[in-house]
């Protein structure tokens, strides 16, 4: 019997995929595969949410974790590896060591495959929707080259649910401020995210300053965080609430209207997805 592995991040989209998969294939054929992340950077309400969804579906979460993951936040992974990204493919090292590598280790140990001998015993399900065609193509290509089949229920299936509130489970509180369920202090995010971190999690921001100085490399392209602190302080003093959910262009336009004499701060690609 084919198994359906939901890449279960703890975010709302992956929860919807889990629900759709159970409704279509039955809970006995669905695996919720999660990479647990340190409590320091994965909000407690994300953990609440993914556990409530799993309990509702009657499925235990399967974990594929990095060793000592509770102590290895993204910043500490990169500090240990002495870089933020891989020089070969520019992939964020935190993503690779906390998620990608444990995921492929789990696949190799439980459902080995290669391009010449694909594994037909599983299909891997992702939470990308129809607007994310590029991500769908890349992920399908990467997994296909390794001998695995993929599917994208939110993009290609006839949907039976559009919000977990339909089954009485509130999405994570983090969506009130953040647009995703990534780590707080995401190393792939831009200035808008790090302004929010500066306001709400000064401990993470301080650690990021220290790691940037040690590695002599900036998290945000063209800007070291230490050069933005005075700008962030002034933004706070003008009453601009931290918000990583608002459209990036609109957010920084609002900031620049309040402080037109200052340099223009443009969001990175992450901020306008």
Tell me what pLDDT residue 263 has.
Answer: 41
**Residue 245 CA to its chain's centroid (Å):** 14
Q: Are 254 and 240 in contact (CB under 8 A)?
A: yes
pLDDT beyond 80 at 88: no
User: What's the pLDDT score for residue 251?
Assistant: 87
* pLDDT above 60: residue 273: no
Q: Give the whole-angstrom CA distance, residue 197 versus residue 66.
A: 24
Position 272 confidence tier, pLDDT thresholds 50, 70, 90: very low
Span(s) in the chain for CATH 3.40.50.620: 3-173
Is the distance from CB of 147 to CB of 174 less than 8 angstroms?
Answer: no
Question: Helix, strand or coil for residue 235?
Answer: helix
Joined together, the tokens standing for residue 73 give 């936040």
Mean pLDDT, to the nearest integer, of 225-233?
95
Contact assessment for residue 18 and residue 32, using Cβ atoms and an 8 Å cutoff: yes
Pick the residue with more confidence: 56 or 263?
A: 56
Tokens encoding 14: 């992956």
Given a cut of 90, whether residue 254 has pLDDT beyond it is: no
Q: Evaluate whether 190 touches 268 at the Cβ level (below 8 Å).
A: yes
Mapping DSSP onto H, E and C, the string for 160-193 reads CCCCHHHHCCCCCHHHHCCCCCCCCCCCCCCHHH
For the segment 58-64, the average pLDDT, to the nearest whole number, is 98
From 99, 85, 128, 159, select the one nearest 273 (Cα to Cα).
128
Record the pTM: 0.90
Q: Summarize pLDDT for 166-185 with one digit per residue, the tens.
A: 999 999 999 999 988 899 99
CATH 3.40.50.620 fits 3-173, yes or no: yes
């Amino acid at each position: 019997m084919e198994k359906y592995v939901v890449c279960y991040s703890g975010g709302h989209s992956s929860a919807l995929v889990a629900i759709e998969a159970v409704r279509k294939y039955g809970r006995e054929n669905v695996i919720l595969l999660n990479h647990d992340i340190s409590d320091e950077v994965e909000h407690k309400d994300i953990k609440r949410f993914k556990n409530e969804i799993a309990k509702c579906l009657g499925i235990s979460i399967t974990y594929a974790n990095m060793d000592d993951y509770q102590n290895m936040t993204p910043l500490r992974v990169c500090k240990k590896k002495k870089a933020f990204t891989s020089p070969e493919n520019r992939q964020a090292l935190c993503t690779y060591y906390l998620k990608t590598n444990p995921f492929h280790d789990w696949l190799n140990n439980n459902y080995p495959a290669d391009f010449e001998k694909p594994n037909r015993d599983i299909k891997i399900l992702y939470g990308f929707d129809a607007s994310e065609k590029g991500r769908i193509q890349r992920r399908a290509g990467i997994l296909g080259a390794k001998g695995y089949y993929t599917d994208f229920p939110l993009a290609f299936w006839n949907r039976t649910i559009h919000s977990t509130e339909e089954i009485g489970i509130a999405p994570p509180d983090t969506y009130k401020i953040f647009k995703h369920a990534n780590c707080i202090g995401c190393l792939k995010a831009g200035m808008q995210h790090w302004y929010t971190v500066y306001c709400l999690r000064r401990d993470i921001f301080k650690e990021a300053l220290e790691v940037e100085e040690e590695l002599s490399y900036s998290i945000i392209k063209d800007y070291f965080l230490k050069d933005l602190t005075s700008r962030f302080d002034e933004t706070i003093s003008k009453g601009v609430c931290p918000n990583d959910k608002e459209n990036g262009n609109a957010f920084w336009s609002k900031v620049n209207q309040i402080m037109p004499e200052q340099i223009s701060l443009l969001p990175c690609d992450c901020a306008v997805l």
